[in-house]
Structure 1
Amino acid sequence: MQNVTSISKICRSIASKSRKNLFLFNDPCTRSFTAVSAGVTSPKFHQPEIPSHFHKWGSIGFCRTSRFATGFNPLQRKPLDSIVDVQRLKDRYPDDITSIWDDYHIGRGHVGLTMKANLYHLLEHRAKECRYFVIPLWRGNGYTTMFVQVQTPIMLFTGLEDYKARGTQASPYFTVSYYTELAESKDLVLIRGDVVFTSKLTDSEAKWLVETAQSFYLNDARYKLVERFNKDAQDFEFKDVLRALDMPIL
């Protein structure tokens, strides 16, 4: 387990690299590398150099069982109409849709959430300026640090330890998709989280991660930490994130 000072240093290194680099994550669901970078549509992606600090980074608790494949494809969401009957949802009240969506995902290795359209638009706006952040996931007597990448309508979570070990080929542990098909008519955005590695994240942990990540983008005070991470990395301190979440500073 790394101390807060070490985590702050590695986070600053990530933040400074992130402004220049294209992060590639291997998605075992599609068995092809998936790319997330603002404005990138070409299949010819640049694979950045792994930050040197990662080679000094110790284990923070995850075992790696990822499988990798060749080839590059843009990250693609599962279409909403392949999950639910969208036309039937259009005839329901927003509260009913929320209940149906949440109940459908319980106990399935997935997470189902919803948010108001205005909150999604705020998340979308802020993610364009600040795409990366780090979230500590508390487990018993310590925490595992997760790296978050947001490019709406996609949000990705992976472990810092796995990123250190595999660099740009690190697999996401958890992927989140935002569906805006009902935003205008129902003032509702559907959120689906897919736990890629159920051995690394439980459904409840995944739900907590997406809700917590969203809170850092939607809460003005917390968003200042996201801005600092992305724009003023030299001033970023991981302990400030722990304080915001009322977690002990180890």
Structure 2
Amino acid sequence: MQRVSPTSTIWRTIVSKARKNVFFINDPFAARSFSAVPVVAAAKKLHQPEIPSDFQKWGSVGFCRTSKFASGFNPLQPKPLDSIVDVHRLKDRYPEDIASVWDDYHIGRGHIGATMKAKLYHLLEHRASECRYFVIPLWRGSGYTTMFVQVQTPHMIFTGLEDYKARGTQAAPYFTLTFYTEFAESKDLVLIRGDVVFTSKLTDPEAKWLLETAQSFYLNDARYKLVERFNRQTHDFEFKDVLQVLDMPIL
């Protein structure tokens, strides 16, 4: 478990490091989720576009639900929305029905399913373009583990702060989110899919809490000021302010 640093030096170092070592590149596979597939199967798909090198860093640690680093998997395999649900059949359904189908699909499947209004997604997208990084404490019993968050819509990645400090872009993601915008214009609805990468490090309930909490920091005006401070006035950022907002004790 971690304690609050008495100075802001650590945050300046982390933000500076993050800006130099971005998890993502400009993603040509927008609005997609990812899964790992065996190398043998991938060999049959050589005609598909090459996956950018930055994604291979994540593929090398196995982008799948497992309790340890995976081996024998190829770089990340893009997973379009129509491979998860029948997009054509949903086009004529009401937004409430689509949200219900999406939620039901993810029940008991080891993933997190959620939805949000398109207007809120666009606000998150705008704010994340200006303030990409943040830190969120995850309470566990008698203390907390700090998660490092990076947003580059339509993706959001969570990893342990200590892992990121030690490994940079080679740090394994604990939890990933993908925002699907196929119904944003026609239904005012954005679908969200979360994947817990390492179940030994993060439970599904914890992942759901992180999803909701991360959204609150980008969508709530008062909380977003802390995100701005972390990215723009790092020397003024105090981690204890985040703890207080989340009603967590300062250890």
TM-score, length basis structure 1: 0.79
In the alignment of these two chains, the number of paired residues is 221
Which range is displaced more, 100-109 or 146-155?
100-109
SS for the counterpart of 1:192 is: strand
What residue number does 2:99 align with?
A: 98
Percent of aligned positions that are identical: 75
* Corresponding residue for residue 248 of structure 1: 249
Q: How far 1:104 sits from its partner (Å)?
A: 1.0
**1:110-148 deviation line (CA, Å, top 9, x unaligned):** 000000000000000011101100111111111111000
Q: CA RMSD in A?
A: 2.8
**What pairs with 1:209-224 in structure 2 (closer than 5 Å)?**
209-224=210-225
Aligned-residue offset at 1:193: 0.4
In structure 2, distance between residues paired with 1:114 and 1:86:
15
Query: What is the CA distance between 1:30 and its match in structure 2?
Result: 6.3
Asked if 2 retains the 8 angstrom alpha-carbon contact of 1:24 and 1:168, the reply is: no
C-alpha distance in 1 between matches for 2:53 and 2:200: 32
- Are the aligned partners of 1:7 and 1:238 in contact in 2 as well (CA < 8 Å)? no
Match of 1:4 in 2: 4
Q: Distance in 2 between matches of 1:4 and 1:13?
A: 15
Determine the C-alpha separation between the residues in 1 that align with 2:10 and 2:37. 30
Q: What letter corresponds to residue 125 of structure 1 in structure 2? A: H
1:206 is matched with which residue? Answer: 207
Residue type at the aligned position of 2:13? S
- Change in Cα spacing, 1:192 to 1:164, as seen in structure 2 (3 Å) is same
Q: Partners of 2:78 and 2:131 in 1: how far apart?
A: 21
Change (3 A) 1:10 1:159: same
Q: 1:88 to 1:28 in 2, by over 3 A?
A: closer
**Partners in 2 of 1:107 and 1:9 — Cα distance?**
42
Instruction: Note closer, same or farther for the CA distance 1:206–1:70 as it changes in structure 2 (3 Å cut).
Output: closer
How far 1:76 moved relative to its partner?
Answer: 6.6
Q: Is the 8 A contact 2:146 2:160 kept in 1?
A: yes
Q: Name the counterpart of 1:15.
A: 15
2:82, 2:136 → 1: CA distance? 31
The correspondence of residues 7-46 of structure 1 with structure 2, limited to 5 A, is: 8-23=8-23, 29=36, 43=52
Q: Is the 8 A contact 1:28 1:66 kept in 2?
A: no
89-98 or 9-18, larger mean C-alpha shift: 9-18
Tell me the secondary structure at the aligned position of residue 145 of structure 2.
strand
Q: Does 1:167 align with 2:168?
A: yes
Q: Secondary structure at the match of 1:148?
A: strand
User: Would the aligned equivalents of 1:173 and 1:201 in 2 still touch at CA under 8 Å?
Assistant: yes
- 1:90-239 mapped onto 2 (5 Å cutoff): 90-239=91-240
Q: CA offsets, 1:60-116, max 9 Å, x none?
A: xxxx83347899x7x775200000000111121111111111111122220000000
Residues 37, 73 of structure 2: 8 Å contact kept: no
Show the 5 A alignment for 1:12-91: 12-23=12-23, 29=36, 43=52, 65-67=68-70, 77-91=78-92
- Matches of 1:124 and 1:104, distance apart in 2: 26
Amino acid in the other structure paired with 1:137: L
Specify the SS of the correspondent of 1:4: coil
